[in-house]
């Protein structure tokens, strides 16, 4: 069993998601809270310039810049594209990373509660998801599998990939004590799990748990000028992880007309009316409900 030696906690990857930024400030003052006997915990403010300006990003979304090909493409030289290269030098390199595991802290304006997002079926990571959910039964497992080298998330810099903790709803650019406490609790469980993994003391975990797998993002309706012409239907607002069936109210046009969901079969919404997605006129993500299996480690 390969052991975990270096764990990175990253926050402010989106500069206006302040929960992670302030948890890092707190843990820099109280490093013993995140210290464990069997590995080193390091902390990194991922996007300081965007954070200083209370913006999600300066030039590009940082959390989409970590594909191996993009990290090695020196024609990509926007602020976040350069930050990704710096973080790759600091935590990676992606092909053979120094850091074993990355815990990246995010918030959402959507009503997603405590969502544990992971992009790999690595048994270490799936085990962490099941472990944290045992401790925090209200947590939802959000699975978006990708090849680690193709994965564009910051967490993919970790040798075992990592874990994205996404808590909401909270507006951009502010702190809420409940969201702060939830996020802090989840991180401490993650660290306890990695310690138990190293020490061979992970408690019995289920073999499978229900979760949601990402299918696709859905654009808001637009006119020929590319302007938004409808919003999420009020019946859908705040209904993250609830079923959406064909014919269900989906959008409401500016003049109040209901547009139904016209897909096939039942899906589930996530990131419903996420403010950060308005730059691309994305209204929500569609998910399918799945059983997530934990392969033998």
Query: Of 14 and 159, which has the nearer Cβ to Zn ion?
Result: 14
Burial class (CB in 10 A: 0-12, 13-18, 19+), 259: middle
Q: Give least dist CB 108 to Zn ion, A.
A: 7
Query: Of 104 and 195, which has the nearer Cβ to Zn ion?
Result: 104
Cis-peptide into 169, omega within 30 deg:
yes
- Tell me how crowded residue 279 is: count the other CB atoms within 10 A of its CB: 10
Backbone angles phi, psi at 280, to 5 degrees: -105, 10
Distance CA 54, CA 172 (A): 9
Query: Of 44 and 294, which has the nearer Cβ to Zn ion?
Result: 44
- Tell me how crowded residue 33 is: count the other CB atoms within 10 A of its CB: 14
Distance CA 252, CA 235 (A): 10
Q: Give least dist CB 234 to Zn ion, A.
A: 25
Q: Give least dist CB 154 to Zn ion, A.
A: 10
Q: Give least dist CB 105 to Zn ion, A.
A: 8
Residues β-bridged to residue 1: none
Residues that bind Zn ion (CB under 5 A): 14, 17, 106
Q: What angle do CA 76, 81, 87 make, to 5 degrees?
A: 135
Query: Of 144 and 192, which has the nearer Cβ to Zn ion?
Result: 144
- Nearest residue to 87 (alpha-carbon basis) of 41, 42, 46: 46
Query: Of 44 and 106, which has the nearer Cβ to Zn ion?
Result: 106
Q: Give least dist CB 50 to Zn ion, A.
A: 11
Q: Give least dist CB 120 to Zn ion, A.
A: 19
What single string gives the DSSP state of each residue in 13-49?
A: SSTT-HHHHHHHHHHHH-GGGT-BTTBEEEEEES-HH
Query: Of 61 and 192, which has the nearer Cβ to Zn ion?
Result: 61
Distance CA 232, CA 201 (A): 46
Q: Give least dist CB 276 to Zn ion, A.
A: 7
Query: Of 207 and 279, which has the nearer Cβ to Zn ion?
Result: 279
E-only strand ranges, the chain: 6-11, 40-45, 101-107, 113-118, 140-143, 162-168, 208-219, 230-232, 243-244, 249-253, 258-260, 267-270, 282-293
By Cβ distance, which residue is nearest to Zn ion? 106
């Amino acid at each position: 069993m390969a052991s975990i030696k270096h764990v990175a906690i990253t926050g402010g990857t989106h500069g206006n998601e302040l929960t992670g930024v302030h948890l890092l400030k707190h843990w820099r003052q109280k490093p013993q809270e995140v210290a464990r006997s069997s590995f080193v915990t390091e902390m990194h403010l991922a996007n300081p310039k965007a954070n200083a300006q209370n913006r999600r990003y300066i030039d590009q979304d940082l959390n989409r810049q970590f594909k191996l090909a993009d990290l090695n493409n020196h024609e990509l030289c926007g602020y976040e594209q350069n930050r990704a290269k710096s973080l790759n030098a600091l935590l990676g390199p992606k092909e053979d990373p120094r850091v074993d595991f990355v815990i990246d802290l995010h918030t959402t304006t959507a009503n997603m509660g405590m969502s544990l997002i992971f992009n790999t079926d690595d048994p270490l990571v799936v085990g962490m998801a099941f472990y944290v959910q045992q401790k925090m039964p209200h947590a939802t497992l959000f699975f978006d599998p990708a090849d680690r080298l193709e994965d564009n998330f910051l967490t993919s810099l970790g040798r075992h990939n990592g874990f994205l903790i996404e808590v909401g709803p909270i507006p951009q650019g502010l702190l809420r004590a409940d969201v702060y406490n939830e996020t802090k609790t989840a991180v401490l469980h993650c660290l306890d799990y990695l310690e138990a993994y190293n020490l061979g003391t992970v408690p019995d975990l289920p073999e499978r748990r229900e979760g949601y797998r990402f299918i696709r993002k859905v654009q808001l309706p637009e006119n020929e000028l590319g302007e938004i012409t409808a919003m999420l239907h009020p019946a859908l607002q705040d209904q993250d992880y609830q079923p959406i069936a064909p014919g269900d109210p989906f959008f409401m046009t500016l003049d109040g007309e209901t547009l139904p969901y016209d897909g096939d079969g039942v899906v589930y919404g996530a990131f419903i009316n996420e403010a950060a997605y308005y730059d691309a006129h994305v209204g929500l993500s569609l998910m399918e409900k799945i059983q997530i299996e934990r392969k033998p480690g």
